[in-house]
């Protein structure tokens, strides 16, 4: 099982004085590039909602797949490159993960043009905190 829930506020500038784009801090070309990045992996995403709310562009992602879907994480990486002032969190649980990611949720943190994994202490270890061991 590969479960994910995420959100991002999209920005390619810190200057909200230019309001000619679809959002205060996002140009039309970057909005279109993010929409294209989402479209490129649409078959891997179960829920992907890109919209402008109150002058700010937002992305919501969610899904539950049978196996790891690396494109879900890659779309966050693409956003970091396209819109370096974006920020957000993508929570991922992969029950097939090995090593240090086994039995834990990982938060992919989007900020300042990069995406880095961090251990989630609120839901990990998954078996023991969220679910009990199967008998």
pLDDT score of 129 more than 80: no
The pTM assigned to this predicted structure is: 0.88
Residue 127, pLDDT > 80, answer no
The answer to whether residues 61 and 75 touch, using CB atoms and an 8 Å cutoff, is yes
Most confident of 24-28, 106-110, 118-122: 106-110
Measured between alpha carbons, how far is 134 from 110 in angstroms, rounded to an integer?
34
CA contacts within 13 A on the Cβ side of 109:
7
CA torsion 16-18-20-21 (nearest 10°) is -40
């Amino acid at each position: 099982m590969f479960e994910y829930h995420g959100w991002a506020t999209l920005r390619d500038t810190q200057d909200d004085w230019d309001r000619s784009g679809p959002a205060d801090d996002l140009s039309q070309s970057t909005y279109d590039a993010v929409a294209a990045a989402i479209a490129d992996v649409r078959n891997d995403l179960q829920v992907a909602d890109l919209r402008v709310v109150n002058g700010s562009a937002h992305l919501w992602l969610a899904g539950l797949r049978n196996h790891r879907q690396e494109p879900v994480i890659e779309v966050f990486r693409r956003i970091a490159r396209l819109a370096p002032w974006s920020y957000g969190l993508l929570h991922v649980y992969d029950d097939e993960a090995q090593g240090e990611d086994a039995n834990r949720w990982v938060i992919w943190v989007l900020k300042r043009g990069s995406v880095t994994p961090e251990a989630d202490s609120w839901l990990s270890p998954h078996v023991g905190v969220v679910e009990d061991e199967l008998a």
